[in-house]
Chain A
């Protein structure tokens, strides 16, 4: 996916753990882990707002665009 989340880099710079961030922004650790590992398909403005507020950064610090082929199916494959 051309959009890459750099949450791990920002966390490292802030010397903050994912668990601590989860507590601060009110997002579950499992969901933050999905975001950190790049498995998320979308991010809510409210989540982005909370992350930027707690990490004292801009949205551009968290997500970057890397040119590449787009996903064929934005929803991903459906498991049956």
Chain B
């Protein structure tokens, strides 16, 4: 099976990315609505949630912030998936070195870095918001993920060179 062009692996991945992207959009909408709903739905003052071996008191603002944070996380994930599906669209069209792919890859790199940053920040924020809870999560620095971020940025520069060569080829008569 071919890697690029119509009916190729890229086109199948593009379809898969389309599905994931729609699911993420629905997820953002649901979480956003849930965050708004939390502001108006009455919550008992002594409501506690079990987290691991500990528990935390669920206040209105804690629930609102958690839902909003989760929606933001999904939104960044959606941005990454959205850019990936657009790159796959150019691969399906048989044009991998489309100049726009350089910007898309850089945005993917920034998005992945933001997600990793969030992975570091969210447990700390949750521990600060609910000190009694046991999140079973310290600072989890994933070296592989950060290495992947760097690889994506390097790939963006490779694609920049590819786009430059493509343009040069287009203007060679």
| Interface of A toward B, CB cutoff 8 Å | 27, 31-32, 34-35, 39-44, 47, 73-76, 78-80
Contacts and interface: CB of A to CB of B under 8 A. Distances in A.
Interface of B: 99-100, 102-103, 160, 163-165, 167-168, 171-173
A79 B172 contact: no
Most chain B Cβ neighbours within 10 Å, of A40, A76, A80: A80
Contacts of A42: 168, 171-173
B168 A74 contact: yes
Interface SS of A by simple majority: loop
Contact of A78 (B163, B171, B172, B173): B163
A14 B103 CA distance: 47
Given A78-B102, A79-B99, A47 B165 contact: no
A78 B160 contact: yes
Contacts of A47: 173
A43 B167 CA distance: 14
A67 B163 CA distance: 29
Most chain A Cβ neighbours within 10 Å, of B99, B167, B168, B171: B171
